[in-house]
Structure 1
Amino acid sequence: MGVVGFGGRVLVVGAAGFVGSAVVGRLVGLGVGVRLLVHRVGVPVGLEGVEGVEVVWGDLGVVGSLRGVCEGVGVVLHLASRVGGGWEECRVVNVEGTRALLGEARRAGVGRVVQLGTAAVYRDGVHRGAVEGELEEGPVSAASVTRLEGERLVLGAGGTVLRPHLVFGQGDRWVVPSLVGLLGRLPFWVDGGRARMSMVSVDVLADVLVELALGGGVSGGVLHVGHPVPVSARELVGTVVGELGLVLPSGEVDVEGALAWLGGVGGGGADAGVRRLVSLLAVDHWYDSGRLWGSVGVSPGPRFSQAFGRYAEWYRQQL
């Protein structure tokens, strides 16, 4: 993995987040100068006073606060998004904030923009080994609709958008915690645990983002990122249950049965988040990442059942 071939810094937007903190640690370890755009929180833990680390205050939701953030920058890593709140709140950050950031990058002559996107922008349905450009985009939630709009702005500016499906590892506050919560309410396998899904560890994802930032891999367009071997729901649940000392499901229900159990007759009482989780355990959502892995010098590492163990203690402490 080489060092950036320009004199500028790497601007990391979302530096204190789940993925951003892992990315920053790698850039600092490589001796790359970084500028961290922080919002609400202070300097990320462990980076106070570190040589080569510059912190600026800014808010994607307040476009005026972004003025000048890209001066002297060679690459922008856009890793921030709004995933909660209503339509206007999400639009202000994910669309208008991205538009303003790209405007600053253009004015400063930034050569490369890499954004962390999401496979949630695809129309819901059965996804089996699709390559980039094959699936129809059609999200429905405020977060995913506005994130797609932001992605299109980045792509229109010649940037690269990386789309993972599920990300696990230290700092994960959604994937495994939500699964554990669901298992506490639903003691059955959903459709036998046969559904498969794309997953990637936060450390592998961070390695990929750094490689793309430093000039490696494909430049421009959408890239799927997930382990080459999709994870079955049975492998996912079995691994998490085994590592965290939980109770393995028994028996089997279909999707309708699961929703009925969770939300009453017809599943009407199950909220959108629960419905999404059940769908993830029952419907194939896996994507071909061959274009990415064929262009970067990063290893996807071991499959989920072998990789999860390194994070098990962290999850046990959190849960």
Structure 2
Amino acid sequence: MVLITGATGFVGHQVVHRLRVHPARPRLRLLTHRRGLPNCCAETADVVTAGLTDPGSLSEVCDGVDTVLHFASAITDDPVTAHAVNTAGTQALLAEAQRSGVRRFVRLSTTAVHGPGPHRGEPGSSDRPPSVTSASRLAGDRSVLAAGGTVLRPGLVHGVGDVWAVPALARMISGFPHWINGGRAKLSWISVEDLARTAAALATRPEPLPPSLVLHAAHPDPVTVREVVTTLCRHLDLPLPRGDVHTRDLGTRLGNRADPALLQRLAQLGEDHWFDSAPLWSLTGLEPGPGIAEGFAACAPWYRGHLDDVMAPPVPSAG
């Protein structure tokens, strides 16, 4: 049996779908906190109600479970909530999994825990998470790795339901329509479909996973900022950036009242942030789908249909 947390989230619901149609047809148990589950999920899975911030509610949720896919997290600026869900909540679920004899524990994290970079293949600096959310997720990651579990760290993720990666970049394009360092920086991207496929493959792999493993999830070929931005502008009817600004000049161009967080995000677009994902593809035995430049057309209609909603900053939540 596979226990999945965050099953209603952007990535989690795709993983549920992949496992429901997987040839291995594992039994599913979905842990839900507040959100209702689609009927198709509720009809084909064991649904339990529990909260990561309430360790008592997690009692016995892992009984009979072979694999845990821990995809729930809180994306928030509140350090108390972030710690309660991403750090302490992960530790509580991990303890229950260990008590129940769970064989495999896979935690969904993010490459953001590695800090601002630059990163070229491997993490290029000491872990300096840039946000409250990333810092709390890194602390949770460390608990999972110390227990011998697996941490899956995707780069930027695009696809139907994305209210973070593409919308944030689109907002930056609209608010600062200039190339930064020529758009030459390379990024790690992955489609939500590929991320779900790899997670399902990890969950159903007959052999045990190597202990204390970090896997970076991305398309094998890094993509340049220029390629990504050009793709988004073409499919979302956004104007292409004009001119070029070096990262050292961003502060001057934005002015003394520039939001430090915006300045940091723009500066990151001028540096490489890509990670070697070959171990993930080798371990799962899967072939990657198309990269964002080739595959974005498939999800572009959804983004266009939700452009007004996704262009507004999303409300942080537990997913």
- State the SS of the aligned residue for 1:286: strand
> Could you tell me which residue of structure 1 aligns to residue 38 of structure 2?
44
> Could you tell me which residue of structure 2 aligns to residue 102 of structure 1?
94
> Could you tell me which residue of structure 2 aligns to residue 158 of structure 1?
148
Structure 2 CA distance for partners of 1:67 and 1:300, relative to 1, 3 Å: same
Percent identity between matched residues is: 44
5 Å-filtered alignment, 1:197-216, equals 197-215=187-205
> Could you tell me which residue of structure 2 aligns to residue 229 of structure 1?
221
Give yes or no for contact 1:186–1:261 (8 Å, CA) kept in 2.
no
Paired residue for 1:238, among 230, 234, 237?
A: 230
- State the SS of the aligned residue for 1:73: coil
Structure 2 CA distance for partners of 1:275 and 1:68, relative to 1, 3 Å: farther
Structure 2 CA distance for partners of 1:212 and 1:246, relative to 1, 3 Å: same
Q: Deviations over 1:85-128 (max 9, x none)?
A: 32221111111111110111111111110111111111322111
> Could you tell me which residue of structure 2 aligns to residue 283 of structure 1?
271
- Report the Cα distance in structure 2 between the residues aligned to 1:45 and 1:297, rounded to whole angstroms: 32
Displacement of 1:187: 1.6
- State the SS of the aligned residue for 1:275: helix
Displacement of 1:29: 1.5
- Report the Cα distance in structure 2 between the residues aligned to 1:260 and 1:279, rounded to whole angstroms: 13
> Could you tell me which residue of structure 2 aligns to residue 293 of structure 1?
281
> Could you tell me which residue of structure 1 aligns to residue 293 of structure 2?
305
5 Å-filtered alignment, 1:71-90, equals 71-90=63-82
Give yes or no for contact 1:197–1:280 (8 Å, CA) kept in 2.
no
Give yes or no for contact 2:74–2:82 (8 Å, CA) kept in 1.
yes
- Report the Cα distance in structure 2 between the residues aligned to 1:239 and 1:216, rounded to whole angstroms: 39
- Report the Cα distance in structure 2 between the residues aligned to 1:203 and 1:59, rounded to whole angstroms: 27
Paired residue for 2:27, among 27, 33, 50?
A: 33
Displacement of 1:259: 4.2
Paired residue for 1:219, among 185, 188, 210?
A: 210
> Could you tell me which residue of structure 2 aligns to residue 3 of structure 1?
none
2:188 corresponds to which letter in structure 1?
S
Q: Gapped runs of 5+ residues in structure 1?
A: 1-8
Paired residue for 2:302, among 311, 314, 319?
A: 314
When the two chains are superposed, the root-mean-square deviation of aligned CA atoms in Å is 1.7
1:35 corresponds to which letter in structure 2?
R
Displacement of 1:45: 5.6
Displacement of 1:161: 0.5
Displacement of 1:44: 3.3
Give yes or no for contact 1:194–1:282 (8 Å, CA) kept in 2.
yes
Displacement of 1:23: 0.2
Displacement of 1:271: 4.1
Aligned residues: 303
- Report the Cα distance in structure 2 between the residues aligned to 1:283 and 1:85, rounded to whole angstroms: 24
Q: Deviations over 1:240-277 (max 9, x none)?
A: 00011111111111224444444x23xx42241x2343
- Report the Cα distance in structure 2 between the residues aligned to 1:199 and 1:135, rounded to whole angstroms: 20
- State the SS of the aligned residue for 2:41: coil
- State the SS of the aligned residue for 1:269: coil
- Report the Cα distance in structure 1 between the residues aligned to 2:107 and 2:125, rounded to whole angstroms: 19
Displacement of 1:317: 0.8
1:11 aligns with 2:3: yes
- Report the Cα distance in structure 2 between the residues aligned to 1:45 and 1:175, rounded to whole angstroms: 28
Displacement of 1:140: 4.2
> Could you tell me which residue of structure 2 aligns to residue 55 of structure 1?
47
Give yes or no for contact 1:15–1:44 (8 Å, CA) kept in 2.
no
> Could you tell me which residue of structure 2 aligns to residue 120 of structure 1?
112
- Report the Cα distance in structure 1 between the residues aligned to 2:206 and 2:200, rounded to whole angstroms: 9
1:142 aligns with 2:171: no
1:23 corresponds to which letter in structure 2?
V
Structure 2 CA distance for partners of 1:281 and 1:124, relative to 1, 3 Å: closer
1:195 aligns with 2:189: no
> Could you tell me which residue of structure 2 aligns to residue 269 of structure 1?
258
- Report the Cα distance in structure 1 between the residues aligned to 2:129 and 2:291, rounded to whole angstroms: 28
> Could you tell me which residue of structure 2 aligns to residue 67 of structure 1?
59
Displacement of 1:78: 0.5
Q: Gapped runs of 5+ residues in structure 2?
A: 308-319
> Could you tell me which residue of structure 2 aligns to residue 180 of structure 1?
170
Paired residue for 2:159, among 154, 164, 169?
A: 169
- Report the Cα distance in structure 1 between the residues aligned to 2:131 and 2:75, rounded to whole angstroms: 9
